Amino acid sequence: MSEHVVDSRSRQKQGESHREQRLSRRSLLKLTGTAAVAGLGTGVGAGQRPLRTLMVTANRPVYYDLTVSDYLEADTLGGNFSGEDDDTPTEVADGELEVSDGTGPAPRNASATAFFGDRYLFTGTITEFVVSSAPSDDVYIYLDEVDVARGDVVGATAIGTPRTLMLAANAPTDYSLGVDGTLEPDTLGGYFVSDDGDTVTQTTSGTYTVSDGTGPDPSNASATTYLGDRFLFRGDIETLDTSLPSGGDLNLYLDEELVTRSALPGLR
């Protein structure tokens, strides 16, 4: 899992300028496609299950194979980042739906900032996802409008924009955090961020966990000196164990708001 996190964050840094251009186009896609997507959610095949989205974008010609367990169709609305009419899934073993196609600009139009993509609507689970591309190609995958690593797509359960959890203490504090979904340290932002050593691992049950310490060193501890670690996550917080010295104070912030333990999603 640690390789996963590093890959996701390094891709974010390397493609920041490119993403600014893409996000403006994706905002347009969201605005123009909302009504149509809402209508498809009650159509034949999708039933009443909420539709999810998967988008593949690249600045060079790339090829991909996508297989879904339940329902799959190309989203043909939205300009440069939409499926095409001929992106038709076929039924394979066990009733799964599969599509194999290519995307990205034509070679004569390829450049570092020219991104094109295919976008799909689906329900169920993505059981296979393979992208064939050269090492120099810049490929981005969006699951439910969120930029994700390729390895996070198959069997993905996380939906939507990541939330933030911050632990801030005025004394040396040990903690262990477990999330059913996705979890990664946020290493940007000053005193209240995670360290590069806050390594996330995945258990055999699929839970993502991290164990570390935060708060000031004993020599710098005081009632008003707070230091903390900050994480990005999706899903439910399954465990949060903390240990701090007598008289120490620990504050929890969910999406930048001070909360009690009982307000953390999934924690009982």
Average pLDDT over residues 85-110: 85
The model's confidence at residue 42, banded by pLDDT at 50, 70 and 90, is very low
The model's confidence at residue 25, banded by pLDDT at 50, 70 and 90, is very low
Residue 139 and residue 56 in contact, taking contact as beta carbons nearer than 8 Å: yes
Residue 111 neighbours by CB under 8 Å, 6+ apart: 59, 105
pLDDT of residue 240: 96
Residue 237 neighbours by CB under 8 Å, 6+ apart: 165, 177, 178, 179, 264, 265, 266, 267
Of 4-13, 130-139, 176-185, the one with minimum mean pLDDT is 4-13
Which residue carries 């139009």 as its tokens? 109
pLDDT beyond 50 at 194: yes
Question: % helix / strand / coil in the chain, to the nearest 5?
Answer: 20, 40, 40
Of residues 78 and 254, more confidently modeled: 254
Cβ-based neighbour number of residue 134 at 10 Å: 9
Residue 190 and residue 10 in contact, taking contact as beta carbons nearer than 8 Å: no
Average pLDDT over residues 39-46: 33
The model's confidence at residue 255, banded by pLDDT at 50, 70 and 90, is confident
Alpha-carbon distance of 107 to 139, in angstroms, equals 15
> For 155-185, b where at least 16 C-beta lie within 10 A, e where not — what string?
ebebeeebbebbbbbbbbbebebbbbbbbbb
Average pLDDT over residues 175-192: 82
pLDDT of residue 220: 86
What sign does the CA torsion over 12, 68, 235, 208 have?
Answer: negative
